Amino acid sequence: MSAHDWCYDSLLAVAKKLHSGQVSPTALTEFMLERINRLNPRLNCFLTVTAELALRQAAQAETELSQGRRRGPLHGVPVAVKDLCFTQGIPTTNGMSFQKDFKPNEDATVVRRLRDAGAVLVGKLHLAEGAGVDHHPAFGNPVNPWRDDLWPGGSSSGSGVALAAGLCFAAIGSDTGGSIRIPSAHNGLTGLKPTWGRISRHGIFDLAPSYDTLGPMARSAADVAATMGVIAGHDPLDPTSLLDPVPNYLGALGGIDSLRGVRIGIDRDYNGNGAEKRTIDLLEDVVRVLESLGAEIKPITFPDPAPMMRHLSKALQAEIASVHAGTYPAMADHYGARFTKSIQSGLGVSPLDYARAVIERDRFSGLLRLTLRDVDALIMPVSSFQSLTWSELEHMAATETEAGFRFTLPFNASGNPTVTFPAGFSEEDRPLGIQLVGTHLSEARLLRFVHSYQIATSWHLKWSRGATDR
């Protein structure tokens, strides 16, 4: 078994090999664990490797599959979760130094559902401190496998790096302002930020609960659909989770003709005002492919999120301060500088400030619903900047950093789902991603559109083999 043969395969291709007996879950898991142990010291994407658990789960999957029992497409497949998901008896740090010894007494619902589906958990993935922006010095920075000097995005940085390096076949991330979409774009991956409430958040460290959502990251829309089918759905333990039935995401993918007659909205003025030229050029390349597959590209006017964005940071900071009230200021010395600033700012938010943010959020959400009445999806960049180097990120002004979220944060506020997918590279060979945005609970439709695009293209099949295997 070689890295070329297995570690960059799609989840569904690996599942087919496992379920046909071409490879055993134990052999595959041992191979992936060896690869993690060899590459993680350089990439720093796993905070905990769950080798003993993974081998037990692989052995169980092997027995069940040999008896003809198949739990679904993730049965026997190595996966990993962001280290803000509770795992019973396994360290769960939330990227915070004072949580390094915390071992929950239960699994998060999303982890339990992965286990029930027969997935093999190979480890817990690095993340920015508290699911924010900066990585805590106690854990260091993860390394983008495409290029050592590139920021892998955040806060689901480890999820992006592990997938791009061929260390797992699906990963769970979380997204409060772009934390699934930006790492997906910066690592050449497909990632889904679902409708708020579509996936249970029980057993998850919160950042800003009104905006947080979990979601799957993988190599293709089909792999994301397979994972989404396992983790989505109402959970009595999370009263904010939606009651709506879960569709067959995998079965709804369709073929290359799934875009025929689909109306894709685009606001070229909004996109062009906030994104670099290379990103816009690639977006237009995507548009041409969509058109060739039968989609109708329809000019729209995207509702201006600026009035909301002016107030939204205060609401986010207030919720962050509320979440950390039990440990800040008591543990203030253990917090990083940027996270401390967010909490302190949140403590100063007035009820009037918070109310204004909610009013503007609801106004923007209503305008977006009106816009989406006339189209099946919107297309836009993921970020105003191409994949940044660590140096570029460090020297970026705060106003530039905030502007970088103008394509992501509005949909955390409105709760709409978006799918990010790879669309090419910058002139400096930095991975770039594009996103489709849909109405609430339109995940299956968005994944179908991206799947059709990926049948016709090969960007999702390109991997940083040389960087990760040296």
Rounded CA separation 293/454 (Å): 11
For residue 437, list its beta bridge partners. 378, 418
Q: What would the DSSP string read from start to end of 191-209?
A: EEE--TTSB--TTB--SST
Neighbouring C-beta atoms of residue 110, cutoff 10 Å: 27
Give one word for 153, left, alpha or beta, with left for phi > 0 and alpha for psi -120 to 50.
left
Give the DSSP letter of residue 460: G
Give the DSSP letter of residue 232: B
Neighbouring C-beta atoms of residue 344, cutoff 10 Å: 15
Report strand pairing: 418-425 vs 431-437: antiparallel
From the candidates 10, 179, 365, 383, which is the catalytic residue? 179
Which residue type occupies 376?
Answer: D
Please indicate whether residue 156 is annotated as part of the active site: no
CB of 202 within 8 A of CB of 84?
Answer: no
Nearest C-alpha neighbor of 377 from the set 386, 385, 368: 368
Q: Starting at the earlier edge strand, list the strands of the sheet with 377-381.
A: 46-49, 120-125, 78-82, 171-175, 213-218, 190-193, 418-425, 431-437, 377-381, 263-266, 296-299
Please indicate whether residue 16 is annotated as part of the active site: no
Q: Which two tokens stand for residue 207?
A: 């950042």
Give the DSSP letter of residue 12: H
Rounded CA separation 419/184 (Å): 10
Please indicate whether residue 179 is annotated as part of the active site: yes
Helices of type H across 74-187: 109-116, 157-164, 181-186
From the candidates 82, 124, 193, 314, which is the catalytic residue? 82
Give the DSSP letter of residue 133: S
- What contacts 24+ positions apart, CB below 8 Å, involve 290-294? 290/259, 290/262, 290/264, 290/379, 290/449, 290/453, 292/456, 293/256, 293/257, 293/259, 293/260, 293/452, 293/453, 293/456, 294/257, 294/259, 294/260, 294/261, 294/262
Q: Which two tokens stand for residue 408?
A: 């992501």
From the candidates 10, 24, 155, 159, which is the catalytic residue? 155
Residues recognised as catalytic: 82, 155, 179
